[in-house]
Amino acid sequence: MKRAFQLISSAMVAASMFLAGCAQGRKLPMTTLAPKSDLADWIYRLFIEVTLWDGLVLAIVIVAFLLAIFVFSTRVGEAAPPSSAASDLKLEVAWTVGPALILLMITIPTIRTIFRSQPNLPPAGALEIKVVAHQWWWEFQYGDKDHVITANEMHIPVGVPIRLTLQSGDVIHSFWVPQLGGKRDVVPGQLNELTFIAYVPGVYPGQCAEFCGESHANMRFRVFVDTPQQFAEWEKGQSTMPTAGAAMTDKAAARGAQVFSNSPCAACHRIDGVSKGYIGPDLSHFGSRTTMASAIEANTPANVADWIVNPGRVKPGAQMPKLGLSGTQLNDLVAYLENLK
């Protein structure tokens, strides 16, 4: 039984890695078959358990099918004997009770997993993060006073209970990190929750899983499961004022700060201590992120410049307008943003 479990799961992991690789051409697999949290593990085990019962049903059907063809059938030219059976009580009881038992064996673990995955209260010592879904990006707010706000890259410590409260800024979205847990819808006017403990440090890709408009497929994000030390460092970095750091020591960046403040950027984007915009992602520590544009591109100066010149080309339907910046102004602005560590 255990061996069958292992064989099935490793074959499925291989297949999903292959398919994920084909679909995205990326190294981070979008798979539910390599769980890295308690929640993902419960769902995975349930899936395997149900699949084994399905396999049993399939085997019974195939055996009955083969018996009907090769054993209990009449050959060509043979006279079919008239059936004398009116009913067979034993058989009828068997094919009623058998499927009912199999359904029961599937129902019990399913209901147990549903209740396990929806705790009413946050576990003791949980890190609470507010997740706000927008067309088409993700906002993450840490702590009561929103002292850390970031976008599209969520950092969490390994081994600590995480309690996400999910809300939408516009339409229905769905929060999904396959290796860390099941999908949870993000519905306007409603607070949904997701609770889990990540077991293994690493980077896990996420994706909006509810069609939400033109760039739904571009509404990705990443979850960084950090060691406690890495997480403490990250949180400390995100809590400090970005403008006090390296941004002002670089001349291009210093000029770029002026471009930012004098352009429409500041009306839509917040930078701690600089601007209070809230329509687009918070850019306070933009330079510390590895990706941009909802994790669809690497955060490089060339990609940032490309984005500013024509956001709609990178992410169709994006609300950010073309700003008409070019040359030195564009380069200075990119230098400023990349320096916001």
Interface contacts to Cu ion, rule CB under 5 A: 173, 208, 212, 219
Q: Which is nearer to Cu ion, 173 or 269 (CB)?
A: 173
Helix axes 38-70, 2-24, angle to 10 degrees: 110
Q: CA 264 to CA 114: how far, in whole Å?
A: 46
Q: What's the token pair of residue 148?
A: 């850390």
Is-contact 208 174, C-beta < 8 A? yes
Which residue number, 210 or 332, has a Cβ lying nearer to Cu ion?
Answer: 210
Non-local CB neighbours of 120 within 8 Å, separated by 6+ positions: none
> Minimum CB separation from Cu ion for residue 312, in Å?
17
Query: Least distance to Cu ion from the beta carbon of 213, Å?
Result: 7
Specify the residue, 296 or 308, whose C-beta has the smaller distance to Cu ion: 296
Cβ neighbours of residue 253 under 8 Å, at least 6 residues apart?
Answer: 246, 247, 332, 335, 336, 338, 339
* Shortest distance, position 216 Cβ to Cu ion, whole Å: 5
Q: How far is CA 10 from CA 5, 13, 42, 62, 95, in A?
A: 9, 5, 17, 25, 33
Minimum distance from residue 218 beta carbon to Cu ion (Å): 9
Burial class (CB in 10 A: 0-12, 13-18, 19+), 198: buried
Q: Minimum Å distance from CB 170 to Cu ion?
A: 9
Nearer to Cu ion, 173 or 222 (CB): 173
User: Considering beta carbons, is residue 122 or 213 the nearer one to Cu ion?
Assistant: 213
